[in-house]
Amino acid sequence: MADATVTAGLALLAIVGVVALAFAVSHRLAFRIALRNVRRGRGRTVLLILGLLVGTTIISGSLIVGSTVQALDVHYTYLGSGYVHESVSATAPSGGFAPFAYSVYTDVAAAATGQSLIAGVTPMVITTTQVYDRSTGIPETNLNLIASNPNQSANLGTFHSLSGDALPGPTTGQVYVDEQTALALNATVGDALVVYGPHPVELTLTAIVQDDLRGAFITAGLSPGNVFLDLPTAQSLENLSGQINYIAVTNVGGQSGGIAHSSTVSAFLNATLASVPAAAGLSVQEPMKNNIAAAEQSGMSVQTIFLVLGLFSIVAGAMLIVGIFIMLAEERKGEMGMLRAVGMRRRELVFVYYFEGFVYAVGSALAGTLLGVAVGYLLTYTFSLLFASGALTSTAILQSFTVTTDDLVISYVAGFVLTLVTVAVASSRVSRLNIVQAIRDLPSPPPPRRWYTILGILGVVLVLVGLALLVPNAQGTSDISIPMLGGGLTILGLGLVASRFVRNRLAFSAVGAGLLLWAGVEPLHRLVLGSAHSGGIFIVFVEGILMVTGALLLYVFNSDLLIRGLLRLAGQGGPGAPRARIGLSYPARRPGRTAINLTIFALVTFTMVAIACFGATLQANLNNTIATESGGYTFFGFSTQPIPQLPQVVANNSTLAAQFSVTVPVVSGAVEVDVPGSAPNPYLDALYSAPTNQSASASFYATSQFGFSSTWQGMSSAAVYDELATNASVAIVDQTYAPVTSSVSSGPTAPHPTLTVGQSIYLRPPGSSTNLSVRVIGVMSQSAITGVWVNPQAASTLGYRSQDAFLLTVRPGASATLAAQDAKRAFFPEGLVLFNIVQILQTSIASTEGVIGLLEIFVGLGLGVGIAAMGILALRAVVERRREIGMLRSMGFTQRDVLTTFVLEYSFTTLLGLAIGTVLGIWIVYDLSISPSAAASGVSFFALPVANIALILVAAYALAMLAIAVPSIRASRIPPADAVRATE
């Protein structure tokens, strides 16, 4: 696919080159003039290229970041996949792999000998375990136990010691651990390790192995760590005599080459399993193929996010190109008029600009592509600083920095074509001039009526296209950005038609207000478009562009009113009045040029502020979610063996009692949930039940702070818990059972049944005929602990009585880390594993902060467009207004007055652009935060990052002022005697 894109890109480039060459031959004079224009101001050419390259840089940077993330994901996916292309296994109700007869392996291996695509088949046991290092006295829970026989697992690769020696694999009495586990246990070779299971065994640590393709299997070297045993020892440990729970299949062709055979081999394995009676319930998975596809998808998703957010900067860059060409045209108005006067046709004039733009496009696309590589590296480096932890080292991240030929070619072609198309449009526009007006430097007259007729026709076309997008997709499940764009085009088209009949101010102000309302008022979209649409990040671009366009139309067609008002305030006499008058008059009388600058600043600020608000809202809601999701508990835990008296044991252990204030035991199990009328049905989920005969500090019903998003007949939370404690025919469920109300989803998710409170559902243990009907009386707000909660009597009916799950709260002031260590030590034989709910959520918040920060840096590059625009416009203004400056100086303006006038003028444009961008950025995120999709994602309120926004605004304003500093100072220092007689 990428190759086809590259080929198409190169072909396009070749065509454009050939066409340009043909034009150059047939329009030699225009070509010569264009080259002379390029050469006549090298400094200006460099400046123009800098201004033009931003769009390409954004494209290039986005692609490279995507490739890097993809490379990183693929690297860890390969690492975690090892040489397992396909697997044969069944999922146990508890979530691990279910055991099956070893004979299945024998049958599969026998069949595989005739299959040329299979390199090897390995019988394995894979489960979780806990290990105690007798030598260091350190226990570690929740480790992967991976067992295979050395003589059967050669195809899975070779173990390597830390010094690089190849190792055969553990045999009886031996255990290998990977680097992660060794680190956790502080273990060294020779230590005695007790590996826990139904029949714990003490083994000698014979090797610490590298987290390479063999040692990092499943976890990719990330936590949790691996413990490797030989198969008989694992079977004995796990009480799996004559059984295994996993068959690994390795294809021919090497690690990546073998993926191509996955479909064929899977089909073969399925056919084989179908003929093996003992294989009933087993399924064939293609982990490597699926995981690699997911990794590539993840890279593309990142690429899409960066590209879509970068689109705002790309549009801003295109506006800058238009602005630059309009200025060039104004600068050369006289000579263009002369060329036309002496007989040059308008078409030739277009070619003069086209050829000049072509040269700039060639240079800027190259420079932009290369700068994008630097930007990509900068982002990767920042990523490595923010996210490196454990085996995901900063070195590994930096080593994943990837620049593909595809990225470079696509960036160059896209940037070049984008610049050239914009240049061509701008060239056509600027070469349309009246010869006399150009020579005498007279202003252009208002457009003739015919122009509005053309606009009206264009408007009709836009309305038709808009309606074609809007009407068929208005009420449906299509991507919401399609009808949203359709509505926007319809409004714009109607405005263009109206401009033929009513005053521009009225027509386009109405369009501006209409676009703002259409794109910015969430209840309006919900009303018109319903709430069943799907969508993604592209809607942010569509809404953003429509809103910014709306705001700018309102400004452009009403700027005189705004500035008149400001002048009334500032122009009432006094020393500041003349400076304000001059400073504000230029933006007022040149709204087109001002609008270009405003657009650039508004777009860039909009993106930055929106991302900042989005991040802050997400973080604030995540903070809020900690309370909702944790239910007031610090840890959720489970044990491999039941711990019937955990609250009492904790109470009697002074160390633990000093650390835990709440110790709630919970009965857990697996259950098939039958929600009538909803799919999938049945749905395998977890069942929880808390005993009722507990003290206050051990009672779920007394301590739970889990809230409810809906309750039956409006019951209070306390009433729901009371009912659950006493009524065996009721249940509560987690938030994932709530009906989906999202209009914007983040992507496909696994199907899940949905229900409403008051509905009856049926529960049964997997494979059992026992069926229990319960009425759902509450849907919890949390989705951290997913499953169905029932009364203890109901759980007992379903056969679940063992207390092997726990909710624990650490006393105020106590260390959660130390408390967890002590608890795990105390309940080590039972294999207690604790998850710090708060910490998990906080880690998620930190990751969100990091991602938001990266995106802010990336879109902040767009500020470069604004700064370039400001600098170029200010430089041009100094040349253009030399005589006016001289006149002002002759009337008594001081150098400082001239400087102040420039600062005022550009401050007005910058601050207005920043204000528009800020208001709209805040608006769009507020709008999204009150949408049903936000509520479904747990976002219930909007947060305004005042400090962050202030920083963005101050930085943007300071940089803009820095950009105009040199031209403004130069303007103020023009000797008045020279200036009053000056010609450009």
Q: Which residues neighbour 797 within 8 Å (Cβ) at sequence distance 6 or greater?
A: 728, 770, 772
Establish if 907 lies at the interface with another protein (CB under 8 A).
Answer: no
DSSP bridge pairs for 140: 131
Within 10 angstroms of residue 677's Cβ, the number of other Cβ atoms is: 9
Closest CB to another protein among 240 and 888? 888
128/145 Cα distance (integer angstroms): 5
Within 10 angstroms of residue 442's Cβ, the number of other Cβ atoms is: 11
Kindly state the smallest distance separating residue 572's Cβ from another protein, in Å. 5
- The CA-to-CA distance between both ends of the chain, in Å, stands at 53
Interface with another protein by CB under 8 A: which range of 551-559, 588-596, 775-783, 825-833?
588-596
Establish if 479 lies at the interface with another protein (CB under 8 A).
Answer: no
585, 624, 727, 796: residue in contact with another protein (rule CB under 8 A):
585
- Are 933 and 534 in contact by the 8 Å Cβ rule? The answer is no
Kindly state the smallest distance separating residue 546's Cβ from another protein, in Å. 32
Kindly state the smallest distance separating residue 508's Cβ from another protein, in Å. 22
Closest CB to another protein among 279 and 329? 329
Establish if 573 lies at the interface with another protein (CB under 8 A).
Answer: yes
Establish if 884 lies at the interface with another protein (CB under 8 A).
Answer: yes
Specify the 3-state DSSP secondary structure of 122. Answer: strand
Kindly state the smallest distance separating residue 871's Cβ from another protein, in Å. 21
Establish if 434 lies at the interface with another protein (CB under 8 A).
Answer: no
Kindly state the smallest distance separating residue 904's Cβ from another protein, in Å. 13
Establish if 446 lies at the interface with another protein (CB under 8 A).
Answer: no
Kindly state the smallest distance separating residue 595's Cβ from another protein, in Å. 16
Peptide bond just before 446 cis, omega within 30 deg: no
State the Cα angle at 809 between 807 and 810, rounded to 5°. 145
Q: Count of residues for the chain? A: 984
- 223 burial type by CB count under 10 A (0-12 exposed, 13-18 middle, 19+ buried): middle
Specify the 3-state DSSP secondary structure of 455. Answer: helix
Kindly state the smallest distance separating residue 342's Cβ from another protein, in Å. 24
- Are 313 and 56 in contact by the 8 Å Cβ rule? The answer is no
Establish if 581 lies at the interface with another protein (CB under 8 A).
Answer: yes
- Are 413 and 14 in contact by the 8 Å Cβ rule? The answer is no
Tokens 């044990």 identify what position? 639
Kindly state the smallest distance separating residue 876's Cβ from another protein, in Å. 15
Establish if 876 lies at the interface with another protein (CB under 8 A).
Answer: no
Task: Characterize the bridge pairing of strands 100-101 and 192-195.
Answer: unpaired
Kindly state the smallest distance separating residue 585's Cβ from another protein, in Å. 4
User: What number of chain residues touch another protein (CB under 8 A)?
Assistant: 35
Interface with another protein by CB under 8 A: which range of 180-188, 613-621, 880-888, 927-935?
880-888
Interface with another protein by CB under 8 A: which range of 36-44, 80-88, 745-753, 883-891?
883-891
Closest CB to another protein among 45 and 585? 585
Kindly state the smallest distance separating residue 441's Cβ from another protein, in Å. 9
Establish if 734 lies at the interface with another protein (CB under 8 A).
Answer: no
- Are 322 and 298 in contact by the 8 Å Cβ rule? The answer is no
Q: Which residues neighbour 951 within 8 Å (Cβ) at sequence distance 6 or greater?
A: none
Tokens 């959520």 identify what position? 841
Q: Which residues neighbour 832 within 8 Å (Cβ) at sequence distance 6 or greater?
A: 141, 637, 638, 639, 643, 806, 823, 824, 826
896, 954, 962, 984: residue in contact with another protein (rule CB under 8 A):
896
Establish if 766 lies at the interface with another protein (CB under 8 A).
Answer: no
Kindly state the smallest distance separating residue 893's Cβ from another protein, in Å. 6
Establish if 571 lies at the interface with another protein (CB under 8 A).
Answer: yes
Establish if 649 lies at the interface with another protein (CB under 8 A).
Answer: no
Interface with another protein by CB under 8 A: which range of 126-134, 217-225, 573-581, 850-858?
573-581
32, 395, 981, 984: residue in contact with another protein (rule CB under 8 A):
981
Taking residues 807 to 836 in sequence order and writing x for each that binds another protein by CB under 8 A, - otherwise, the string is ------------------------------
Taking residues 164 to 193 in sequence order and writing x for each that binds another protein by CB under 8 A, - otherwise, the string is ------------------------------
Side-chain half-sphere exposure of 262, counting CA atoms within 13 A: 24
Peptide bond just before 224 cis, omega within 30 deg: yes
583/593 Cα distance (integer angstroms): 14
975/339 Cα distance (integer angstroms): 32
887, 911, 915, 959: residue in contact with another protein (rule CB under 8 A):
887
Establish if 577 lies at the interface with another protein (CB under 8 A).
Answer: yes
661/659 Cα distance (integer angstroms): 7
- Are 484 and 546 in contact by the 8 Å Cβ rule? The answer is yes
| Tokens found for residue 800 | 């679940």
Q: Which residues neighbour 862 within 8 Å (Cβ) at sequence distance 6 or greater?
A: 54, 58, 310, 312, 313, 316, 317, 603, 604, 607, 608
75, 752, 801, 883: residue in contact with another protein (rule CB under 8 A):
883
43, 190, 574, 813: residue in contact with another protein (rule CB under 8 A):
574
734/523 Cα distance (integer angstroms): 28
Establish if 533 lies at the interface with another protein (CB under 8 A).
Answer: no
Closest CB to another protein among 315 and 329? 329
DSSP bridge pairs for 118: 251
448, 575, 677, 714: residue in contact with another protein (rule CB under 8 A):
575
354, 360, 586, 706: residue in contact with another protein (rule CB under 8 A):
586
| Tokens found for residue 837 | 């709910």
Query: Comparing C-alpha atoms, which of 72, 388, 75 is closest to residue 213?
Result: 75
578, 631, 637, 913: residue in contact with another protein (rule CB under 8 A):
578
188/176 Cα distance (integer angstroms): 11
Closest CB to another protein among 578 and 917? 578
Establish if 337 lies at the interface with another protein (CB under 8 A).
Answer: no
Establish if 897 lies at the interface with another protein (CB under 8 A).
Answer: yes
3-state SS string for 620-675: HHHHHHHHHHHCCCCEEEECCCCCCCHHHHHHHCHHHHCCEEEEEEEEEEEEEEEC
Kindly state the smallest distance separating residue 887's Cβ from another protein, in Å. 4
582, 720, 761, 790: residue in contact with another protein (rule CB under 8 A):
582
Establish if 977 lies at the interface with another protein (CB under 8 A).
Answer: yes
Establish if 976 lies at the interface with another protein (CB under 8 A).
Answer: yes
- Are 391 and 211 in contact by the 8 Å Cβ rule? The answer is yes
| Tokens found for residue 809 | 């709260």
Establish if 890 lies at the interface with another protein (CB under 8 A).
Answer: yes
500, 505, 590, 825: residue in contact with another protein (rule CB under 8 A):
590
Peptide bond just before 578 cis, omega within 30 deg: no
Helix pair angle (405-430, 346-387), 10° resolution: 140
Kindly state the smallest distance separating residue 865's Cβ from another protein, in Å. 26
- Are 281 and 287 in contact by the 8 Å Cβ rule? The answer is no
Interface with another protein by CB under 8 A: which range of 90-98, 274-282, 606-614, 972-980?
972-980
Closest CB to another protein among 242 and 892? 892
Kindly state the smallest distance separating residue 547's Cβ from another protein, in Å. 30
Closest CB to another protein among 888 and 922? 888
Interface with another protein by CB under 8 A: which range of 8-16, 630-638, 774-782, 888-896?
888-896
Residues that bind another protein (CB under 8 A): 442-443, 571-575, 577-578, 581-582, 585-586, 588-590, 883-884, 886-897, 975-977, 980-981
